[in-house]
Amino acid sequence: RAWFSLGVYFSLVALVGISLLLLWDSIGALYFRRGSISAWLPNILAPSFSGSIMDTSIIIASTILSIAFHEFGHAIAAASEGVQMEYVAIFMAVLFPGALVALNYDLLENLPLFSMLRIYCAGIWHNVIFCAACVLMALLLPLVLCPLYVSGDGLIVMGVSQSSSLSRSLSVHDVILSVDGLNIRRTDDWMKMLAQGTVEKTSSHEFLGGSQSYGATNSGKGYCVPNSWMDASKNLWQINDKLSCPDELIVFGKFSCNGSAYFPGTDKVSDKKQTEDLYCLIAKDVVKLKKCGNGWRGTEDDDSNCTCLEV
């Protein structure tokens, strides 16, 4: 009974804490962040079907396990209090599975108040313990699966969209070790790289047929491309009055010596003058070339951004 008494105390503390948290968020949404409710409410109500079959299977399996532990807690607590269990029901609520444990209502009503709370709170108490056990198992995975489990040696590519320009360069289970000279070992390194804000995304419906191009417009990061590559490349293919690169090529902008870069804009032009400094190149070959510019690591204070060197 001491085990289930802990569940009662935890449930009461959690009830007070969650109530205060919801009250604080409601006050903040109404008085301090006006209009925020209308911003996030449609996102909550809007259905999302972007999950894969594997994600759906994991959600269903975790739901079944959570329900099983929840009802098991009620049943064990009732048995410890001498309350008879009449039956167990399993049902489906739309697409989600559910279950319940039916207890003898007369015996339950004759119990002391704290004994009733032990039974009522046993379900959520067992869910919390189950959740804590899952977190502990996840933290111990590197130790349990060693040496098969490797961490801190890069990020594994879990999936690449077919519409992505990286689909021909990256494959599932590839390991990302560095990006633009920044070593990527953990998720924190990846988030730090994204937070630097050195890469600006620009859209060009006129030049790229609605696709997106990426360029380090303010970072001073460039590559030393041989003139033979630039001469051999087809600047931009013109198809139906629109300019675009073939599927296996990526558009690159030519840097001038002052560190500025030229990328396709969204304004319509009548000639090809604006595309003179744009080239269709193979990205995985370009990134292997020598680097230039003062935006790379170790060259922030170097003014000779036209010098090709390895950094």
Reference 278, options 249, 260, 254; nearest CA is 254
So what's the pLDDT on residue 287?
Answer: 75
Tell me the three-class secondary structure of 128-143, residue by residue.
HHHHHHHHHHHHHHHH
Reference 111, options 135, 153, 78, 155; nearest CA is 78
Residue 209's region, left for phi above 0, alpha for psi from -120 to 50, else beta, is left
Residue of 71, 86, 248, 300 with catalytic role: 71
128 burial (CB, 10 Å; 0-12 / 13-18 / 19+) is middle
Does 71 qualify as catalytic in the annotation?
yes
**For the chain, which residues make up each domain, given as ranges?**
2-144, 150-196, 200-292
Q: Give yes or no for a contact between 173 and 159, defined as CB atoms under 8 angstroms apart.
A: no
pLDDT, tens digit, 9 for 90 and up, residues 205-221: 333 333 333 334 445 67
Q: 158-196: string of b/e by CB count within 10 Å (b at 16+)? A: eeeeeeebeebbeeeeeeeeeebeeebeeeebbeebeee
So what's the pLDDT on residue 251?
Answer: 76
Distance CA 276, CA 279 (A): 8
**φ and ψ at residue 21, rounded to 5 degrees:** -65, -45
The encoded tokens of residue 46 equal 């809007």
Distance CA 168, CA 223 (A): 20
Instruction: Please name the residues in contact with 79: beta carbons below 8 A apart, sequence gap of 6 or more.
Output: 85
So what's the pLDDT on residue 309?
Answer: 58
Angle of helix 53-80 relative to helix 2-27, nearest 10 degrees, comes to: 130
The encoded tokens of residue 142 equal 């590197």
* pLDDT lower than 70: segments of the chain: 32-51, 152, 163-165, 196-220, 234-244, 247-248, 255-277, 295-311
Q: 79-114: string of b/e by CB count within 10 Å (b at 16+)? A: eebebeeeeeeeeeeeeeeeeebebeeeebeebeee
Distance CA 201, CA 203 (A): 7
Instruction: Please name the residues in contact with 34: beta carbons below 8 A apart, sequence gap of 6 or more.
Output: none
